[in-house]
Amino acid sequence: MIRQLSILIPTRNDACLHQVEALQKIASMVDGLQYEIIVSDDNSTDPEAIKQNEIIATLENCQVLHRTENLGRAANRNYLAQNALFDWLLFLDCNVKINNEDFLKKYLEQEQADVVNGGIFAETDKQLARHNLRYQYEKSVELKHSASQRQQRPYKSFRTSNFMVRRDVMLAHPLDETVPGYGYEDVLWGKTLCENNLKINHIDNPVAITHFESNATYIAKVEEAMHTLHTLRHDLIGYSPLLAKVESMQKNHMISLYLLAYKPFTNCIRKNLIGDKPKIKLLNFYKLGYYLSIKD
């Protein structure tokens, strides 16, 4: 049983006071647990978020670190690992919700692994189901993200939203801070874990996503992620279903035909996806077409 834990939360322009208070309450219920909660603010510009997060520093066993330059998600997580006190690190996205009082206990029982991934889910919300594309996407892949499904592809199913790792592992194999743009640093890290024969356990210990960006913001992130994937395409062969699809299409000379069907409808599809009644079935069609349209 793990008895010491650093709970680490990277943030930028998001207040996570309520999340920290909930974690503090749960941690205090675990007999004999020494813990700290560290929030690292990656140079926020939102005055209200900054004000709320300042309160965290007044709470017992809690501290807030301030970055003077926005260096990105990977660098912020690495910075948290460097500043943590204990040998085990629990990384959580800001604003995720903990619904289970045994949440920490489930992690603390996993001392035999190098890395433990707890998973995520989206609480049912009928309003979001009708209008929010990110919510629709998360619900559509939820069954694929169960612990049993993730464990079948342990290194290819990694997300940094909710995971525990030994500090020495994180320091020896930090997240790649050179990844351009948004996305795929978690997939790349999964590959690193595999190449170094590090043991990863996927368990059923999910946190609830509580923040769903607007459809326009989400699509902009998707497009940026496609550019990131294109840049990393040689490094991520075997770790991306989309790259596997592209490889199959290349072998069967299908790319030109796909683009012929995609390009006339690009603007129409994008308009639907950023609108107030998005069709989730169009998202994968759009992502693949967008990726194939990126020029070397």
Question: Which domains does the chain carry?
Answer: 4-209 (3.90.550.10), 215-293 (no CATH)
Whose tokens are 């009928």? That residue is 126
Non-local (6+) Cβ contacts of 96 within 8 A are 19, 120, 161, 162, 207, 208, 209, 210
pLDDT score recorded for residue 224: 96
Helix axis angle, 215-231 relative to 266-274, nearest 10°?
130
Structure token pair of residue 289: 């077409």
pLDDT score recorded for residue 66: 92
CA of residue 290 relative to chain centroid, distance: 22
Residue 169, phi-psi category: left (phi > 0), alpha (psi -120 to 50), beta (remainder): alpha
Whose tokens are 């006071």? That residue is 17
**What single-letter DSSP state applies at residue 44?**
-
Q: What is the mean pLDDT of each run of 10 residues along the chain (296 residues)?
A: 97 94 96 97 92 95 93 93 98 93 96 95 94 96 91 90 97 92 90 96 95 96 96 94 96 96 97 97 98 91
The mean of the pLDDT values for the chain is 95
Locate the DSSP E strands across 129-214: 162-166, 200-202, 207-209
List, for residues 147-160, the tens digit of each pLDDT value.
Answer: 999 999 999 988 99
